[in-house]
Every structure is written in structure tokens, then in C-alpha cells.
Homo-oligomer: A and B are copies of this chain.
């Protein structure tokens, strides 16, 4: 087994297993939603690929060997396990993100209900809870309306998230895309995005929200990114 083979096998296992978290947290129904993870080997990044879920397949049937390996154009790598199936219909958007955001190691897309509700109004989620300040460092932004068929979804994600603290974007009328340093980190962002969308939805139903001062948001975000968790696994 080469280094690349090993890296691919590890990401296949990871991506297959992480889909269970989307189910556990109620972020997906039926076959909706998808997780991908980047595979990059070599100092020159000679190999730069990603692994993604097949299209329209039940969450009960996901296994490492039916995950699909793609290059950064979103083309299935022929002759690899799972390559006889179609990859997720959102593959082009994932590929666009990997091509244009070299530090991204994982991408997740869901139609989680509270996040989609904000997206259907084209309204960002205000940062009124310390958990959001920790995780996203401010509001969760809205991206443009874009539909499948060209690069417009990927471009909308990238343009919204580059230079933004948030690892989550709510694509208008569509739903959240999240990114992370790994597939696991992107899944965490998807879970925390829905949690924030839900909690702030509840909060606002009851009346006026108390804003958090910007310098407190900054302090919380900086601490959480640097201190939280075990030093060996932070956000990985």
C-alpha cells in the first residue's frame, strides 16, 4: 500500500462513518445530504483528490468501499471502488470549493430544517449566543441564490466564506454548506450551524434578542479556536 492508497482508505472510512452523524443529529432525511473529505499526499501536492457519497443511496447502505473518489474537477477516478456509480449531485460544488480553498479538508451539505428556514428568508443568523461566537466568530452568512448546472453554487460558497470567520454559509432558498480542516470538522460545523439556527429561531420567537458586544464575540472566538479541546485533536 502506497501512502496515497493509505490516505484514500482512511478518508473513505472517515467519510462513510461521518454520514451517521448527519442522521444522528437530524440534519438529513431519506438520501439527502452529503459529506466529502480531501485526500492530499506529497509535498508538492501531486495527489489532490476527494472522496464523496454516491447519489441517492440510503444512509443504511453507506460503506467505505462505495464512497466515490473524484479529482478536483469533480470527475470520478476510473477503476476505483465505487466508480461504477454516480457521485452526489452536489459533487461539482464540493470540487469547486476544494479547487479554490486549498486549506479546506472537508465539505458538508444538508437541508437541515432550521438552517434552511433562515435560507428561505435570505437572512443571516445573528450571533446572540456565546456558542455561536465560539464556533463561528459572528453571524452565519447567506450566500446567493444559485442552482445546479454550472459553477454558481461553488462560486457562491467560496465568495461568501473566503475572508469570513464562519465555516457555514446558508445558500439562499437552498440550505447550508459547511467547510472544515477535515471532513469531521466540516460535519461539526454542520451540526453546530443547525443548532445555532434552531436556538436563535426559538429565541426570536419570544421577543427581542440581546446583542453580544463585538469585542466579546472576538474574545470568545479567539479563545475557542486556540484553547478548546485536547491539543492533539483540536478540530481534526
Contact = CB atoms under 8 A, between A and B. Distances in A.
Interface string A128-149: 1111000000000000010111
A123 B122 CA distance: 23
How many chain copies does the complex carry?
Answer: 4
A209 B122 CA distance: 8
Contact of A113 (B199, B212, B229): B199
B55 A113 contact: no
Contact of A121 (B54, B201, B210): B210
Contacts of A148: 220, 223
A55 to B, nearest CB: 5
Interface string A1-34: 0000000000000000000000001000111100
Contacts of A199: 111, 113, 116-117, 120
A30 B192 contact: yes
Interface in A192-236: 192, 195, 198-210, 212, 216, 219-220, 223, 227-231, 233-234
A209 B55 contact: no
Contact of A195 (B29, B118, B212): B29
Contact of A128 (B89, B114, B120, B128): B120
B207 A121 contact: yes
A111 B129 contact: yes
Interface in A150-205: 172-175, 188, 191-192, 195, 198-205
Interface of A: 25, 29-32, 54-57, 85-86, 89, 111, 113-114, 116-123, 128-131, 145, 147-149, 172-175, 188, 191-192, 195, 198-210, 212, 216, 219-220, 223, 227-231, 233-234
27 contacts: A25-B29, A29-B191, A55-B230, A56-B228, A56-B233, A85-B230, A89-B228, A111-B195, A113-B195, A113-B199, A116-B199, A116-B203, A118-B203, A119-B129, A120-B209, A120-B210, A121-B203, A121-B206, A123-B207, A129-B173, A130-B175, A145-B216, A147-B219, A172-B210, A173-B210, A173-B212, A201-B206
